Amino acid sequence: MLRQAMLAISKSRRAERLVSTSPLTADVVRRYVASDIGAVVGELTRRGLLVSVDHLGEEVTDEAQARAAVATYVSLLDLLPAGADVSVKLTALGLRLSQRLAQGHAATICAAAEGRGVTVTLDAEEHDTIPGLHAVHAALRRDHPEVGVVVQAYLPDSLDRCEKLGGARVRLCKGAYTAPGAYARTADIDRSFVRCLKVLMSGTGYPMVATHDPRLLRIASTLAVLDGRDVTGFEYQMLYGVRPEEQTRLAGLEARMRVYVPYGSDWYAYLMRRLAERPRNLAFFLRSLASR
Ligand code: FAD
């Protein structure tokens, strides 16, 4: 119930105005969103962590804004070391205007990234964008085989998706939105996550295991051993500001540990999704407001 309410608030322009213009939210934003992206990337890299950088923004309905997002990603590449990744939302590149437009923009980012030794991963968003996401990903892979895509385990067809994505870089996550017919119970989502993980780990692609869940992390590392993948054959991914000690611990074990780092002023919807995920995050948010 609380999660549904928070996700509804994440789409409310009125709530966005209220929260975004309040100076009281700054502490919470700082916890999950990088304020100086160059400095944060430098610090994480020094600590042996890989990064995937997300320039915040989504649901763009203006062509000029979509073009500006492409330009921002291309200039962001100057700040990133080889081996970094950028996470891209197709709705920020104009998917709501036209699939062709978003695909062209994503291709521009892929071409620029390749020249720098940086990979690109296409985030998964609201359920009605998923067919477009996979169509664009399939088309981009012809010229940019390294482009990755996200699969959300809460969607009942996620297993089928994973089976069809042989050879690809695939980030598996639980799913941060709502979708009709999606698994709602934690146990069902976790079971789906494990089924997908088995397919990805035993397949020919590169699995990116995006979760903070200790049980799923243990299962992932066990499957990797059983499937004969060494530490370079898959990676763990976690969000900036979430379980940072665990991120450091995994990197210390020589595992490939990538931190998803969002930055930029358009943080509202991202932050609301993080608060929706975990009542304790919401309590932290409310406490920090109350303590002012
Ligand atoms: P949860 O069910 O949230 O948590 C499970 C357990 O993890 C908890 O019980 C707790 O033990 C531990 N845990 C979780 N959070 C914390 C915390 N703050 N502190 C301590 N322990 C904690 N979703 C999409 O829909 N599309 C995307 O493209 C997408 N990309 C993502 C990229 C990355 C790198 C990551 C990590 C997530 C991404 N997500 C995306 C979000 C994802 O779908 C989940 O909403 C989010 O990761 C929370 O799920 P979880 O697997 O961490 O488990």
**Domains along the sequence of the chain with CATH:** 1-16+25-32+267-292 (no CATH), 34-266 (3.20.20.220)
CA of 183 to the centre of ligand 1 (A): 16
CA of 147 to the centre of ligand 1 (A): 22
Q: Which amino acid does the sequence have at 192?
A: S
CA distance 290 to 240: 24
Q: How confident is the model at residue 53 (pLDDT cuts 50, 70, 90)?
A: very high
In sign, the C-alpha dihedral spanning 138, 141, 145, 148 is: negative
Can you spell out the DSSP letters for 217-280? Answer: HHHHHHHHHHTT--TTS-EEEEETTSSHHHHHHHHHTT--EEEEEEESS--HHHHHHHHHH-HH
CA of 98 to the centre of ligand 1 (A): 30
Bigger pLDDT: 288 or 76?
76
- Specify the pLDDT at position 285: 66
Cα separations (Å) of 74 from 24, 70, 107? Answer: 32, 6, 11
Element (H, E) at 152: strand 148-152
Q: Is 197 in a helix, a strand, or coil?
A: helix
Catalytic residue selected from 123, 141, 161, 258: 123
Task: State what percent of residues in the chain have pLDDT above 90.
Answer: 80
pLDDT in tens, 142-167: 999 999 999 999 999 999 999 999 99
Global ipTM: 0.98
123 a catalytic residue: yes
Q: How confident is the model at residue 219 (pLDDT cuts 50, 70, 90)?
A: very high
* CA of 89, closest atom in ligand 1: 28
Q: Which amino acid does the sequence have at 91?
A: T
CA distance 225 to 266: 40
- Which among 84, 151, 166, 92 is positioned nearest to 120, based on CA atoms? 84
- Ligand 1 binding pocket (C-beta < 6 A) is 123-124, 150, 152, 173-177, 210-214, 237-239, 242-243, 260, 277-278
* CA of 238, closest atom in ligand 1: 36
